[in-house]
Amino acid sequence: MPTTNISIRTLDAQPILFVRRKLARRDEIADAIGKSLGTVFHHCQEAGHQFAGPPFARYTAFGPEGITVESGVPVAAPAEGAGEIETGFLQAGRAACCLHEGDYADLEGSYKALEQWAETNGEQFNGPCWESYLTDPGEHPDPADWRTEIFWPVADRDLP
């Protein structure tokens, strides 16, 4: 199984810089993420923005009407965008998290495992999910070595 260690974490809001792309098909995702990350990396280098974590892709729409993906990087402090580069935050609060080990083509299995885990544990998703890419395919060309952390916000629970 490509997914290990599903758990709940409480996250702080994280400032980000990203590029948003609206796609018609799943097979466009990898190319869109790669190009968007290159644009954001270049902007950060030129503007002197400090990274505060691995690059990510957040899915704000994923369905028959299309896919909207926001690809970027966490930054150490809120920063100004430029052109198509936008600013924002990764959502604070409770999130279901898991580690996906292996090829990006197999990520769907990890999402299904998260959905099943949430149903079994009475959790309700509450916002768009995102993937943090812990390994760089340029440095680790074998997909078996790739590590991706998936975060999916879940609703707060009432305290007794």
Enter the tokens of residue 17.
């810089």
- How many CA atoms lie less than 13 Å away from 89 in the CB half-sphere? 9
| Per-domain boundaries in the chain | 3-153
pLDDT at 126 over 60: yes
pLDDT at 99 over 50: yes
pLDDT at 4 over 90: no
Provide the percentage of residues in the chain whose pLDDT is more than 70: 96
| pLDDT for 78 | 96
* SS3 call for 15: strand
pLDDT at 73 over 60: yes
AA letter at 70: E
3-153 classified as CATH 3.20.80.10: yes
| pLDDT for 1 | 45
The H-or-E segment that residue 68 falls in is: strand 66-74
The H-or-E segment that residue 63 falls in is: strand 56-63
Q: Is the pTM of this model over 0.85?
A: yes
Residues ≥6 apart with Cβ < 8 Å to 139 = none
Pair type for strands 93-101 and 147-153 = antiparallel
